[in-house]
């Protein structure tokens, strides 16, 4: 019952946190959530806003009864025309939706889900499950909680101190979310095993999202930090050594 409100970020902090925890352990609800997210993204396609051709509007107008001289009939005409226009717009939208839906970029739903997760973590004050600036504390915390070992790197020298990590849900699976900071800004770095995936940079709702693939892992960084700062973070992370390895010289 709460999936739609959760997807639209309409729940309060406590309910949102409870929903996120439920999704982490319920495959059925997670599958429904993913379906709703894809539908929501598809319906945002500007191509769905179609205006009826002038010729079609003229044919419809020709079939309407001639206006009556009575004042009441004259008052009815705007309401009738508005109703017909609304019905026509709805018909055209529904007829074209299935055709236009496949053209929506596949990565849009994932980006929207990641941004929503970033915002929810901040609002629900559930940013960290393991608060620590020590990469050798954060990395072992994920043991037994995930079926893979995330890459945790110390970037304090580059100006991106590690704040900790948490479990989150993206694309229907549990993922590691590492939390770094840049001045007053939070950077959420999601990562999970994937042979390939969408790459590049996107902007959504005032947040910047950067995705890349490396060594069998897919990475997704999201933040409201300046574009130059987030790009510098990505370069620093990709160039640094992981936990357990010798520091880069």
28-32, 35-39, 73-77, 224-228 — which one is most confidently predicted on average? 224-228
* E strand segments, the chain: 130-131, 162-170, 173-182, 185-193, 200-204, 207-214, 217-223
User: Please, which residues have CB within 8 angstroms of residue 8's CB and are 6 or more apart in sequence?
Assistant: none
- 97 has a pLDDT exceeding 50: no
Confidence band, pLDDT 50/70/90 cuts, at residue 89: low
Rg over CA atoms, the chain: 24
pLDDT for the residue numbered 72: 54
Distance between CA atoms of 92 and 89, rounded to whole angstroms? 5
φ and ψ at residue 51, rounded to 5 degrees: -95, 140
Distance between CA atoms of 125 and 64, rounded to whole angstroms? 58
Average pLDDT over residues 134-160: 95
CATH superfamily of 106-239: MucB/RseB, C-terminal domain (3.30.200.100)
- 229 has a pLDDT exceeding 50: yes
Note if the pTM is more than 0.85. Answer: no
Confidence band, pLDDT 50/70/90 cuts, at residue 105: very low
Confidence band, pLDDT 50/70/90 cuts, at residue 40: confident
CB 157 within 8 A of CB 240: no
């Amino acid at each position: 019952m709460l999936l739609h409100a959760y997807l639209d970020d309409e729940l309060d902090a406590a309910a949102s946190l409870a929903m996120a925890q439920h999704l982490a352990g319920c495959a059925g609800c997670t599958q429904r959530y993913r379906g709703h997210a894809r539908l929501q993204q598809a319906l945002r396609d500007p191509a769905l806003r179609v205006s009826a051709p002038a010729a079609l509007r003229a044919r419809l107008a020709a079939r309407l009864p001639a206006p009556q001289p009575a004042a009441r009939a004259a008052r009815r005409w705007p309401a009738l025309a508005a109703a017909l226009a609304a019905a026509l717009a709805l018909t055209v939208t529904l007829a074209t939706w299935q055709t236009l839906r496949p053209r929506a970029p596949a990565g849009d739903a994932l980006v929207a889900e990641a941004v929503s997760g970033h915002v929810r973590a901040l609002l629900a004050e559930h940013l960290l499950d393991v608060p620590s600036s020590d990469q050798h504390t954060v990395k072992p915390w994920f043991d037994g909680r995930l079926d893979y070992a995330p890459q945790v790197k110390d970037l304090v020298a580059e100006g991106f101190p590690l704040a900790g990590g948490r479990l989150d849900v993206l694309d229907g699976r549990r993922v590691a979310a590492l939390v770094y900071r840049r001045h007053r800004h939070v950077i959420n770095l999601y990562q999970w095993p994937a042979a390939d995936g969408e790459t590049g940079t996107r902007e959504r709702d005032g947040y910047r999202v950067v995705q890349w693939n490396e060594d069998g892992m897919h990475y997704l960084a999201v933040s409201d930090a300046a574009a130059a700062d987030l790009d510098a973070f990505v370069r620093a992370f990709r160039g640094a050594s992981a936990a357990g390895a010798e520091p880069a010289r």
